[in-house]
Amino acid sequence: MSLRKKSLRAEPGPYFGDFGGRFVPESLVAALDELTAEYELAKNDPAFAAALMELHRTYTGRPSIITEVPRFAEYAGGARIILKREDLNHTGSHKINNALGQALLTKRIGKTRVIAETGAGQHGVATATVAALFGLECVVYMGEVDTERQALNVARMRLLGAEVVPVKTGSRTLKDAINDAMRDWVTNVETTNYIFGTVAGPHPFPAMVRDFQKIIGEEARQQVLDLTGSLPDAVTACVGGGSNAMGIFHAFLDDPDVALFGYEAAGDGVETLRHAATITKGRPGVLHGARSMLLQDEDGQTVESHSISAGLDYPGVGPEHAWLSSINRATYLPITDDEAMSALRLLSRTEGIIPAIESSHALAGTLELGRALGPEATILVNLSGRGDKDMETAGRYFDLLDEGAEQS
Amino acid sequence: MSTPGFSDTEVSGTVSTVQQTIARRRAEGGGALIGYLPVGFPTLTESIDAAVALVANGVDVIELGLPYSDPVMDGPVIQAATQQALANGFKLRHGFEAIKAITAQVDAPVLVMTYWNPVVQYGVERFADDLRASGGAGLITPDLIPDEAGDWMAASERTGLDRVFLAAPSSSDARLVQAIEASRGFVYTVSTMGTTGARAGVDAAARILVERLRAVGCTSACVGLGISTPEQVREILGYADGAIVGSALVKALTDGGVPAVARLALELAAGAQNIRPASSPT
């Protein structure tokens, strides 16, 4: 009998410990089976991997660089802080990694129409982009509240040729956009592939989206080794559904000396009802096709989440995160709106990099973590997206707009 | 087709009243009419009155929906109604209260239609006990496939409750067999790829799916999704054991209250009569 511990990097789904699975209408099972089978074939097909790598290189601009940020690090107890620059990808975030992978898969399956849900709009923009690139019809579902706070991304998607459907049901945010995308998929599954944006949802999405995002950690692990000669002491990322976090965590799962920290959106604070801190405050439950942690009331009704960041404003989380938390391999902590916005301004002013509000949650958590770990520590942060899309929110929050300049 | 433990009618000495009702309607030369309404819409009292009115006007089985925050199988009419019920303060205990009140007034079996998370949070065993105690016949579970239903299979075996799983036009033959073996009461035959809501014509897909189910041994297939008129009920009962009407009844309740539901139920019930000659009583 081998004493070697089982790798944490080899989880294929559908289950991650007690989490994951497929809680979906029977109508979708055939499509999920097809997607699973095609993905397994594609995963083992060198031509598929080569095509995706070529797109990463010539379209997205991979590998994305790492940037050390010493002026920012002065505020983090002097710890060495290194950013993985997913914000520099084409379309401005990590979402393109997954959208390209799933679009290639869509072509392989032979479907001609893709749908997507989006919160902040980054996954919607990435999907609209790859749909334009591959000549696919594209419909993006977006909560009406989010279409208002991320109006620029709505315009981007429409310019790219996608139809954006504002979702007016429920809380009119990401969770309801997913409901409507699922209803569309149930109806049009014969012609349509659902390009799911995060590591949540029914199998095979959590494992497949993770696999398309794990390139972030694979690149960064080597880049940090090349720069510093050793692995980082900690890796940090923001967590909504959790795709950028799984993407950077995955390569480090079997490095027991590397601590992993996911930062959830605490909105007005986890002591209030207005937050999106799913692992911190939720209970196990079933939503959007998987068993995971969930913000819910005693009857199992989903509770509305709140965050200044549309991309983290989700009452669920990917099942692999719920599992990593349950086995204490990763730690999940809440970051309030104010803490995130303050980190956003700090990185802008110290390093000339304007981060997305989502990624600013990871930066805020890293400031605290650095102070706790001390000046000898090295921390790798996933800077998952850039802040251009957030200028209206930031402008209002920091009162940066001249009177009359505000559009709405 | 009958697998030990998952048989058509009899488990732990309990005869499925849903199955009995379907058999009786067949023997009478008609088919079963199943009517859906959500609990708590427009109010708890009116939803109970409306369900009673369904049975008084010829509906054979009640499908009582529990409002849920994220109903992915439902179209706009039922979404709007269940969202209003939740806004009015619907709680799961109201569901059990409603079943008690309905079964105290009418004889028809009451199946509960619920998404899975509320059952999980209530506790699967506790939910089964309270459903049984309040007079409910079983569960229709739109987002629970047999593959994930281990807890519910055990709880329904113990309590003798019916469990209705779904079969879809996209289901493989192997999955149809799985749905038949896992279900008790009937197999919910999804007429079309889509969500709930009235449609002008019911898909040919429904007839084909029922034929496919029959070919692998299904003795109790009820068709739902998109059925709103007596003509559609009659057409479906020509080949299926039951017809399920939902959104049309909810729309009637929205527009015209309990009297409108009663009128529509009476019309639909006429479509469920005299499908074929009645068999002689044995």
Query: pLDDT, tens digit, for every residue of B156-196?
Result: 999 999 999 999 999 999 999 999 999 999 999 999 888 88
CA atoms within 13 A on the CB side of A185: 28
Q: What is the pLDDT of residue B1?
A: 37
A175 interaction partners in chain B (CB closer than 8 Å) = 70
Q: Tell me if B246 is assigned to some domain.
A: yes
What is the C-alpha separation between A270 and A305, in angstroms, rounded? 11
Confidence band, pLDDT 50/70/90 cuts, at residue A4:
low
φ, ψ for residue A370 (rounded to 5)? -60, -40
Whether A178 maps to a domain, the answer reads yes
User: Could you tell me if A381 and A336 lie in one domain?
Assistant: yes
Which pLDDT does position B13 carry in this prediction?
46
pLDDT on residue A163: 98
B87 C-beta neighbours (distance < 10 Å), count? 10
Check residue A1 and give its pLDDT: 45
Q: Out of B121, B169, B172, whose CB is closest to A285?
A: B121
Neighbouring residues of A264: CB distance < 8 A, sequence distance ≥ 6: A238, A239, A240, A276, A277, A278, A279, A280, A312, A317, A332, A333, A334, A335, A361
Query: What pLDDT band is residue B103 in, cutting at 50, 70 and 90?
Result: very high
The answer, yes or no, to whether residue A272 has pLDDT greater than 60, is: yes
At A169, give phi and psi (nearest 5°). -95, 160
Residue B54 is part of a domain; what is its CATH number? 3.20.20.70
**pLDDT the model gives residue B9:** 42
Two tokens at A160? 């790219």
What average pLDDT does range B1-27 have in this prediction? Answer: 66
**DSSP 3-state helix, strand, coil percentages of chain B (rounded to 5)?**
50, 15, 40
Among A209, A243, A260, the domain boundary falls at: A209
Query: Is the Cβ pair B175, A189 closer than 8 Å?
Result: no
Q: A284 and A239, same structural domain?
A: yes
B75: closest chain A residue by CA: A183
Q: Which domain holds residue A195?
A: 17-57+95-209
Residue B2 lies in a domain: no
Residue B3 lies in a domain: no
Coil, strand or helix: which one is A67? strand
Query: Which of A4-8, A131-135, A265-269 has the weakest average pLDDT?
Result: A4-8
CA-CA distance, B73 to A82, in Å (whole number)? 45
A284 vs chain B: nearest CA distance in angstroms? Answer: 9
Instruction: Specify the pLDDT at position A50.
Output: 98
Q: Is B5 on the interface with A (CB under 8 A)?
A: no
Domain annotation covers residue A144: yes
Model pLDDT, residue A107 = 95
Instruction: Give me the mean pLDDT over the B222-242 stretch.
Output: 96
> Is pLDDT of B280 > 70?
no
pLDDT recorded at residue A404: 63
Check CB contact under 8 Å for A299 and B92.
yes
Does residue A6 carry a catalytic annotation?
A: no
Domain CATH code at residue A33: 3.40.50.1100
Active-site residue flag, A43? no
Q: Tell me the pLDDT band of A408, cut-offs 50, 70 and 90.
A: very low
Let me know if residue B8 belongs to a domain.
no
Q: Are residues A166 and A69 in the same domain?
A: no
pLDDT at B14: 56
Query: Do residue A83 and residue A102 come from a single domain?
Result: no
For B44-77, how does the pLDDT look when each residue is reduced to its tens digit (9 = 90+)?
Answer: 999 999 999 999 999 999 999 999 999 999 999 9
Summarised one tens digit per residue, pLDDT across range A376-405 is 999 999 999 999 989 989 999 999 988 765
b/e per residue A27-43 (b: at least 16 CB within 10 A): bbbbbbbebbebbeebe
The pLDDT of residue B6: 42
Helix (H), strand (E) counts: chain A: 16, 14
pLDDT of residue B2 exceeding 60: no
Same domain, A136 and A235: no
- Indicate if A174 and A230 belong to the same structural domain: no
pLDDT of residue A150: 86
Considering only CB atoms, which chain B residues are within 8 Å of A289? 143
pLDDT band for A144, please (50, 70, 90 cuts): very high
